[in-house]
Chains A and B, each alone.
Chain A
Amino acid sequence: MVRNIKQINFSNILGWVSLTLLTLVTFGTLAVVYVKSHNNFTLTPADFKIIKFTTYQALISATMSSVLGIFLARALTRQSFIGKSILIVILGAPFILPVVVAILGLISVFGRNGLLNNTLEIFGFENISIYGLHGIIIANIFFNLPLVSRLLLHGWNSIPAEQLRLAESLGFNKQDIFFLIELPMLRTRLPGIFAVVFLICVSSFSIALTLGGGPKSTTIELAIYQAFRYDFDLSKAANLAMVQFILCFMITIIVIWTQKTQSFQVSFDRVIVKWTRSNNNLIDWIIISLSSIFLIIPLLVILMEGIFSLHLIDASILVSLGRSILVAFGAVIICLFITFSLGSVIVTSNIRSKVRWLMESSAYFIIASSPLVIGTGFFIFLFPIINPIKIVFPMTALINAIMAVPFSLRIILPAMQKINQDYGKLSESIGLRGYEKIFNLTIPRMKREIGFSVGLISALSIGDLGVVTLFSSPQSGTLPLTIYRLMGSYQMDAAKAAAFLLLISCFIIFLLTDRLAHSNVKD
Chain B
Amino acid sequence: MKKLIFSLFFLLSTSSFCLSEVNTLKVYTYDSFVSDWGPGPSIEKAFENICDCDLQLIGAGDGAALLAKLLLEGELTEADVVLGLDTNLISRAKETGLFAKHSKTLDLNLPIAWDDDTFIPFDWGYFAFVYNAKNISSVPNNFKELTNQTNLRIVIQDPRSSTPGLGLLMWIKAAYGDESNKIWKGLTPNILTVTKGWSEAYGLFMDGEADLVLSYTTSPAYHIIAENDSSKKAAIFDEGHYMQIEVAAKISNTDQTELADKFLDFMVSEKFQTIIPTTNWMYPVINLDAKLDKAFLSPIPKNKSLYFDPITAQETRKEALDEWLEILSK
Contacts and interface: CB of A to CB of B under 8 A. Distances in A.
Interface of A: 44-46, 49-50, 53, 111-113, 129, 131-132, 213-216, 218, 226, 228-232, 319, 322-323, 326, 329-330, 333, 383, 387, 389-394, 397, 471, 473-476, 485, 487-492
Given A112-B207, A113-B208, A394 B193 contact: no
B199 A488 contact: yes
Is chain A's binding surface mostly helix, strand, loop or mixed?
helix
B28 interface: yes
Given A488-B61, A488-B196, A489-B200, 17 more contacts: A46-B325, A49-B329, A113-B208, A113-B209, A213-B193, A213-B195, A214-B328, A228-B72, A229-B72, A232-B67, A232-B72, A329-B5, A333-B5, A489-B197, A490-B202, A490-B204, A491-B35
B324 A215 contact: yes
Interface of B: 2, 5-6, 8-9, 12-15, 28, 31-32, 35, 58-61, 64-65, 67-69, 71-76, 78, 158, 160-161, 191-197, 199-200, 202-204, 207-209, 322, 324-326, 328-330
Given A112-B209, A129-B192, A229-B161, A474 B35 contact: no
Contacts of A132: 193
B12 A46 contact: no
Given A215-B324, A326-B8, A489-B35, A229 B199 contact: no
Nearest to B36: A491
Contacts of B15: 319, 475-476
12 contacts: A44-B325, A213-B192, A213-B193, A214-B191, A229-B72, A231-B68, A232-B71, A389-B76, A390-B14, A393-B12, A474-B28, A489-B197
A326 B9 contact: yes
A390 B76 contact: yes
Given A213-B193, A230-B158, A330 B5 contact: yes
A316 B76 CA distance: 23
Contacts of A53: 329
Contacts of B32: 489
Contacts of A44: 322, 325-326
Given A232-B68, A473-B78, A489 B158 contact: no
Contacts of A216: 194, 328-330
Nearest to B26: A475
B12 A323 contact: yes
Contact of A474 (B58, B64, B76): B58
Given A112-B207, A474-B28, A476-B15, A389 B72 contact: yes
Q: Top 4 closest A-B pairs, CB basis?
A: A214-B194, A490-B203, A230-B160, A213-B193
Given A214-B193, A476-B12, A488 B5 contact: no
Given A387-B76, A392-B13, A393-B12, A218 B202 contact: no
A49 to B, nearest CB: 4
Given A229-B72, A231-B160, A387-B76, A213 B64 contact: no
Contacts of B12: 319, 322-323, 326, 393, 476
Residue picked from B14, B76, B325, most chain A C-beta under 10 Å: B325
Contacts of B199: 488-490
Contact of A46 (B8, B72, B196, B322): B322
B94 to A, nearest CB: 15
Nearest to A113: B207
A261 B131 CA distance: 59
Nearest to B207: A113
Given A474-B59, A489-B31, A229 B68 contact: yes
B71 A488 contact: no
Given A131-B192, A213-B193, A330-B5, A488 B31 contact: yes
B13 A393 contact: yes
Contacts of A322: 12
A86 B234 CA distance: 53
A33 B191 CA distance: 35
Contacts of B160: 226, 230-231
Given A50-B329, A488-B197, A488-B199, A228 B68 contact: yes
A215 B194 contact: yes
Contacts of B8: 326
A196 to B, nearest CB: 28
Contact of A112 (B2, B208, B326): B208
Nearest to B29: A474
A490 B58 CA distance: 16
